[in-house]
Structure 1
Amino acid sequence: MKLLRHGPRGQEKPGILAGDGTIRDLSAHVSDIGGDALTDAALANLAKIDPMSLPIVAADTRLGACVAGTGKFICIGLNYADHAAESGMAVPPEPVIFMKATSAICGPNDPVIIPRGSTKTDWEVELAVIIGTKCKYVSEADAMGHVAGYCVANDVSERAFQTERAGQWTKGKSCDNFGQVGPYLVTRDEVPDPQNLKMWLTVNGTKMQDGSTKTMVYGVAHVVSYLSQFMTLHPGDIISTGTPPGVGMGMKPPQYLRAGDVIELSIEGLGQQRQEVIVDLV
């Protein structure tokens, strides 16, 4: 299934993508795409519904983040060896963990907002994992059973905030609209091998990133198991698993986003995002 959330920001309703490409409303069957609705049993019940029997949603309706109630937005850094190289950093001996503020989460086509004082706002297409059931100290062999599904994420980053100012990476990752997720939560059964997905990103029509999850250093099962050794993972938590090469910081000379730019990004089978870049005027 391809589950989604549609409607104005803060008022999203649950939905599903039907086989004919239309969006259908799931409000009569589930209150939202999050929490207990992410268990295998709950997803199996939703799978029994014929999407074509559901009310149709206007094609131009805004899509929100594809999961609700996210308590943690966890990111894995330098998880592609070739991206680590372009960043001038070594492949880490264990996954690098940092947090992205949940207030950065937004819809897949909501704008990228360049924050006040930014000079180096950058893009990162990433495979995001959405946790379906609570897990703690889970083994790698059992980790995938706690995954509800996957989605596309744009881990937008302000590199000067991230690497040139004192402290950790979080402040360069957490600005408003620095976390587009969706358009769909694609359930685990539709992604038999998350380590073999093509992924790409363009800026103004020029391809910047063209990679595959094949080149991840630490795969999804390892990452879920690893994180669960340090923190309990809860339904709706998002794990963004790293980006392939081609980010602006790695170019010679570096290239960063400017107002008016258009970003498009996709991962095989998970849908596509499109964002216009604007400046924060608040």
Structure 2
Amino acid sequence: MGGWKITKPLDPPEVWGAGISYEAARGRYTEDVKDKGMTIYDMVYNAERPEIFFKATANRCVGHMEPIRVRSDSSWTLPEPELGVVLSSSGRPLAFTVVDDVSARDIESENPLYLPQSKIYAGSCAVGPFLVTPDEVGDPYSLEVNLRILRGGKEVFSGRTNTSRMRRRIDEQVKYLTRDNPVPDGTLLSTGTGIVPGRDVDLREGDVVEITIDKLGTQVTPVVKGKG
């Protein structure tokens, strides 16, 4: 018999994402867009309505130790470590998990209308390694989030934040996600990132991404480039 393998803890029928949900996260995004002055990121940072976007389906997701992908037409793709929330069809949180909202930042920054192409492709979303129930997590706004990118076994980037810095709370995100938009049981909401590396960092074939969130474990994914 072969060895055991940890893979996705669930096959989410839908994955949705939230953007610009952390304090100061807009600053890095604003630096990367071509517009000058007030940008769409500045505008949504203070707007009543949060950014909510469709991210993935189950066949576009990978699990712990499975490869995430850089699009074949992207030269600047980044991991986005995020707290994931598994929802019931009524919007009730069922579990929490680690999510990597892999994003082709060069495509998004070229034109905001390219956001779906930046976000939605094979291997663009990593989930797991575990699902942890709300009673085990306790306060979801006190979790440390750590990101490491390894290249040839050496660390080329590290960053950290804490979910206490979330400006857009989970209930607010869920309210807008489910408004006039029925979601099935098991829908996964990725609640946004507070770690956004700059242009001097990019994912390359052979890199390894490590994301650790308190109480949720460490997700490790190798990086490949090209078609899924």
Q: Does 1:104 align with 2:69?
A: no
The answer as to whether partners of 1:151 and 1:270 remain within 8 angstroms in 2 is yes
C-alpha deviations, 1:248-276, integer Å up to 9, x for none?
3xx2x432111121111111000111111
Identity percentage of aligned residues: 28
Could you say which residue in structure 2 is the equivalent of 1:238? 188
Could you say which residue in structure 2 is the equivalent of 1:80? 22
Structure number with the bigger relative contact order (C-alpha 8 A, sep ≥ 6) is: 2
Q: Which amino acid aligns with 1:229?
A: R
Distance 1:258 1:212, change over 3 A: same
Could you say which residue in structure 2 is the equivalent of 1:48? none
Match of 2:4 among 52, 61, 66: 61
Distance in 1 separating the partners of 2:214 and 2:71: 30
Could you say which residue in structure 2 is the equivalent of 1:115? 71
Q: Which amino acid aligns with 2:134?
A: R
Distance in 1 separating the partners of 2:7 and 2:77: 22
Distance in 2 separating the partners of 1:154 and 1:256: 15
Local SS of the residue matching 2:146: strand
Q: What are the ranges of 5 or more consecutive residues in structure 1 without an aligned counterpart? A: 1-56, 136-142
C-alpha deviations, 1:179-219, integer Å up to 9, x for none?
00000111111111111110010011345320010011111
The answer as to whether partners of 1:195 and 1:220 remain within 8 angstroms in 2 is no
Distance in 2 separating the partners of 1:111 and 1:105: 10
Local SS of the residue matching 1:186: coil
Distance 1:254 1:152, change over 3 A: same
Distance in 2 separating the partners of 1:207 and 1:267: 17
Match of 1:199 among 138, 145, 162: 145
Note the C-alpha offset of 1:167.
2.2
Distance in 1 separating the partners of 2:114 and 2:54: 10
Matches within 5 A, 1:1-282: 60-68=3-11, 70-88=12-30, 89-90=41-42, 91-93=45-47, 94-102=49-57, 103-131=59-87, 133-135=88-90, 146-165=92-111, 167-204=113-150, 205-245=155-195, 247-248=196-197, 251=198, 253-280=199-226
Q: What are the ranges of 5 or more consecutive residues in structure 2 without an aligned counterpart? A: 31-40
Local SS of the residue matching 2:211: strand
The answer as to whether partners of 1:209 and 1:244 remain within 8 angstroms in 2 is no
TM-score, structure 2 length as denominator?
Answer: 0.85
How many residue pairs match? The answer is 210
TM-score, structure 1 length as denominator?
Answer: 0.69
Distance 1:265 1:170, change over 3 A: same
The answer as to whether partners of 2:122 and 2:227 remain within 8 angstroms in 1 is no
Distance in 2 separating the partners of 1:158 and 1:61: 32
Distance in 1 separating the partners of 2:203 and 2:105: 11
Note the C-alpha offset of 1:168.
4.2
C-alpha deviations, 1:220-245, integer Å up to 9, x for none?
12222232223123211000000013
Local SS of the residue matching 1:265: strand
Q: Which amino acid aligns with 1:66?
A: P
Q: Which amino acid aligns with 2:125?
A: G
Distance 1:234 1:281, change over 3 A: closer
Q: Which runs of 4+ in 1 moved over 6 A?
A: none
Note the C-alpha offset of 1:163.
2.8
Note the C-alpha offset of 1:92.
4.1
Distance 1:63 1:92, change over 3 A: farther
The answer as to whether partners of 2:52 and 2:173 remain within 8 angstroms in 1 is no
Distance in 2 separating the partners of 1:107 and 1:125: 14
